[in-house]
Amino acid sequence: MTKEEILTQLKAGQLTVDAASKLLAEQEQTRKGSLYCKVSPKGAMSLYGLQRMPVTLYVDPMGAAVEFPPTS
């Protein structure tokens, strides 16, 4: 369940505040130590979990990285 779904259910009264807090905490805990990404409205992709700070690729550099030929 996404954060938005949890908040929507809380707003609709389908979840209690305690249950929503627990679900949000579990969701945050699964992110820690795992690799995940977010895409901004402008198309930049931020990759979390590789290092302390996220690695962000913008559209032009991302295209260059995808087209980069592998070397042996």
CA–CA separation, 54 and 36 (whole Å): 10
CA–CA separation, 26 and 42 (whole Å): 29
Q: Tens of pLDDT along 9-48? A: 988 999 898 988 888 888 776 666 678 888 888 888 898 8
Q: What is the pLDDT of residue 12?
A: 92
Judge whether residue 72 has pLDDT over 80.
no
> How large is the average pLDDT for residues 60-69?
81
